Structure 1
């Protein structure tokens, strides 16, 4: 088994895919904690579709897709961070409109693109993570390092505004600024991963491992560590499964969807464990009360 793993990662494209999966998956799993705590998961689903629209537009006008990814991410952040409910349309309604508009416009742009580009289709399918380059891996590492540095420098501000914006305003903290910085980190992370592996993998890594960590723990440091570890393990597991099924069983399993499935599977395993832990805690409380 060890020999097969060494052989697998002897190929440069496998090493590049692993780096993208590990750094991109760990980064999105970390940011996903704040997405869940802020209760903006639906916004996290809409933003990738707007980024997809940006990538499709870049292909349509023949510019590098990564430029379209960042432009789309910036546009999505600008629009979605300023969503306000009124008497007619709720916040979720506006986010739903953005989700549908981004996806539909992206499909139209891909369909009418004068030069068909497999990369454009990849933003939805996520099948081609095995075709990543060293540049893609470097972009994922830079994004992860940059976000880690930002959170290390401004941890208390980013956490408190994520937990309770009302209390933050009372304390004189500039909530809009710190929210904007968080959305900037989220948009950049999604843009980098989507440009490489597609929206399916990006959103799965964003919501899966973080949800599993929140189910398993209440201590925030434990949640952070668990989410990042699960994101990394999901990437490695999915990539390894894709390789071995293709080589030894002649089953074509795309790397991106394999990683996405592994990321979402963490919730399936965490759910019964969480239920068992809650039941055990209730029984312990009752026994302590009886004593």
Structure 2
């Protein structure tokens, strides 16, 4: 039994995949709560798709791909935030336009510019092929983003629930929004090697959505979301070994199963309370 549980992690590449997933789980879990509470779930999707042209242009310029991804993701997120705040267009419409436009630009650049980039790895990740640089980057981003969120979660919560009161209290709400967008972009960059562009959105939404169903206080919600993200990444890597499947989609599948279970549990609990 012990060998059955530990055998997958006896291989270095499996241990590295699990370690990177656990690193990413902290900022992704914390951010997912605020994205769900703010109605910003599509923001993570927009950022994850918007980094593709940055990756291609960084390859052409000969600079680190991570740098191009971060600049493109942050620029697109801030542009979407500015457009939403200075026009009558609703947030979901702005995000849809920015997301599809940037992803389309990335695909055009990818096909027009000869390169050795593997689109599958960019889109879906390559957890079993990560190296020391990916682990170092994941550790740095996890420490910076996770630390900032843990220090400022009360301010971000106040700005999320009552922005008027936050302004009266002296908080720079707009700068908090921009800081949150920067942290989303950095976390997506950290997840680029782990789950790729497309599947990273699941880790930025599902843990917070599951925690929202299970918890009634924000502090508890944050803890539950991080635990869900960490468990899903660790269990997903372990299950993928025995199923001979890719880790990233397995992680997302486990998140979906947990969301369905939390949804059913919440419905049953609500009916019992109503009946009582």
- Which TM-score band (shorter chain)? over 0.9
CA 2–213 in structure 1, closer or farther in 2 if over 3 Å, else same: same
Q: Give the alignment partner of residue 192 of structure 1, picking from 190, 193, 196.
A: 190
Task: Name the structure 1 match of 2:94.
Answer: 94
Shift of 1:52: 2.4
Residue correspondence of structure 1 range 246-265 to structure 2 within 5 A: 246=244, 253-265=245-257
RMSD: 1.9
Give, in whole Å, the separation in 1 of the partners of 2:238 and 2:270.
33
Shift of 1:28: 0.8
Shift of 1:123: 2.1
Matched, 1:66 2:66: yes
Contact residue 200 and residue 257 of structure 1 kept, 8 A: no
Task: Name the structure 2 match of 1:218.
Answer: 216
Give, in whole Å, the separation in 1 of the partners of 2:216 and 2:129.
39
Task: Name the structure 1 match of 2:159.
Answer: 161
Task: Name the structure 1 match of 2:240.
Answer: 242
Q: Which runs of 5+ in 2 are unaligned?
A: none
Give, in whole Å, the separation in 2 of the partners of 1:163 and 1:115.
46
Matched, 1:280 2:266: no
Q: Give the alignment partner of residue 209 of structure 1, picking from 203, 207, 210.
A: 207
Shift of 1:91: 2.7
- Residue 267 of structure 2 aligns to a residue whose secondary structure is helix
Contact residue 25 and residue 232 of structure 1 kept, 8 A: yes
Q: Deviations over 1:175-208 (max 9, x none)?
A: 1111122221111111111244302331111111
Task: Name the structure 2 match of 1:269.
Answer: 261
Residue correspondence of structure 1 range 20-35 to structure 2 within 5 A: 20-35=20-35
Residue correspondence of structure 1 range 70-85 to structure 2 within 5 A: 70-84=70-84
Structure label with greater radius of gyration: 1
Task: Name the structure 2 match of 1:144.
Answer: 142
Give, in whole Å, the separation in 2 of the partners of 1:149 and 1:43.
21
Task: Name the structure 2 match of 1:125.
Answer: 124
- After TM superposition, the score normalised by the length of structure 2 is 0.92
Give, in whole Å, the separation in 2 of the partners of 1:135 and 1:116.
19
Shift of 1:27: 2.0
Give, in whole Å, the separation in 2 of the partners of 1:87 and 1:79.
12
Give, in whole Å, the separation in 2 of the partners of 1:150 and 1:88.
32
Shift of 1:32: 0.5
Give, in whole Å, the separation in 1 of the partners of 2:181 and 2:56.
22
Give, in whole Å, the separation in 2 of the partners of 1:200 and 1:84.
24
- Residue 83 of structure 2 aligns to a residue whose secondary structure is coil
Give, in whole Å, the separation in 2 of the partners of 1:100 and 1:90.
16
Shift of 1:265: 2.3
Length, aligned pairs only: 276
Give, in whole Å, the separation in 1 of the partners of 2:153 and 2:182.
15
Give, in whole Å, the separation in 1 of the partners of 2:162 and 2:138.
30
Contact residue 70 and residue 186 of structure 2 kept, 8 A: yes
